[in-house]
Amino acid sequence: MHTLLKLLEDGAFHSGEDLGIALGVSRSAVWKKLQQAQADLGIEIYKVRGRGYRLASPLSLLDDEALRREHIGLGWACRIHETIDSTNAEAMRVANSGAELPSLILSEQQTAGRGRRGRQWISPFAENLYYSLALRMDGGTRRLDGLSLLVGLAVVDTLRELGIRSAGLKWPNDILVGGKKLAGVLLELTGDPANVCHVVIGIGININMRESINVDQAWTSLALELGHVHDRNKVACALSRNLSAYLAGHQEKGFAAYRRDWEDKHLWQGLAVALTAGAKITRGIVMGVGDDGALRLDVGGREEYFSGGEVSLRLQGN
């Protein structure tokens, strides 16, 4: 299936005969494969007599060879899937299998993508970036202070390099543009929290998605913001380079060295917010974050700190 879609990813018309020759199958077999792609992957394909077949819109498929070559240079293994339940779940399986780490998991599609607080992460085929990095962490969870916020910085830097100059952060793990979500971060742990553990850094970036009826919040994408289809391989490689640099800095200096930069890119800095943790709602003004990544709020003239986890942050009045 991947070979057929690679032939069609430019969005131009291709005759059934030419496709059949390239694949070594009959024209009727080509049509069956295209029907399967529509049914299994949700890809819309146009068929026009005398012209052949084309995708409703161009695709940017993951390039196994180019991605593996790029990540070897970072010292990371790279595994690419066509369809998977969740890149985070697969990264966790890889970490627990004793495989060499760091190991990056990418997929064209997720059938059970996960976001924060148990939310579904919508994952249409070959439209967005579904990215999970498994790392070994010696010294237990104390080495993770502020790590998820640092990952958010890597994502924002990548988006700004790609032309989204207004991309910014929302504590703890969202990346917004114009008040709409463009990307998110989800960290998950396994192993001994006091000794050797594994952390999975999950990142989802909306790249070429232009419509979805299933997303339960305001969202946007690179394509919607910049008006053209983006090469998902270039986005993945740029993200990995930035993330690798931040991870090295975090290991050496911790999050405290990046706290001011994070606050400079925090879109809700100085704004009135409502923080919900279970049944409790706390209202205050965002002062910034602590050296461990905890949110600092001015609550009635008193500075209070709030850690991530099962919390929700909203602007007051929203």
**Residue 177 to residues 184, 189, 279, Cα–Cα distance (Å):** 12, 29, 29
CB atoms within 10 A of CB 227: 7
Please tell me whether residue 310 adopts helix, strand or coil conformation: coil
Contact 163, 226 (CB under 8 A): yes
What distance in Å separates the CA atoms of residue 73 and residue 70, rounded to the nearest whole number?
A: 6
Q: Which of 71, 127, 82, 148 is closest to 104 using CA atoms?
A: 71
Length of the chain: 318
User: Which of these is catalytic: 181, 232, 259, 296?
Assistant: 181
Q: Give bridge partners of residue 315 from the DSSP assignment.
A: 273
- Residue ranges of the annotated binding site for biotin are 86-88, 110, 114-116, 181
User: Which of these is catalytic: 116, 170, 259, 296?
Assistant: 116
What distance in Å separates the CA atoms of residue 315 and residue 156, rounded to the nearest whole number?
A: 21
**Residue 15 to residues 32, 33, 110, Cα–Cα distance (Å):** 14, 14, 30
Q: Is 280 a catalytic residue?
A: no
Q: Is 116 a catalytic residue?
A: yes
Q: Is 232 a catalytic residue?
A: no
Burial per residue of 19-35, b for 16 or more beta-carbon CB atoms within 10 angstroms, e otherwise: bbeeeeeeeeebbebbe
Angle formed by the axes of helices 232-253 and 64-72, nearest 10°:
20
Contact 128, 206 (CB under 8 A): yes
Could you list the active site residues? 116, 181, 314
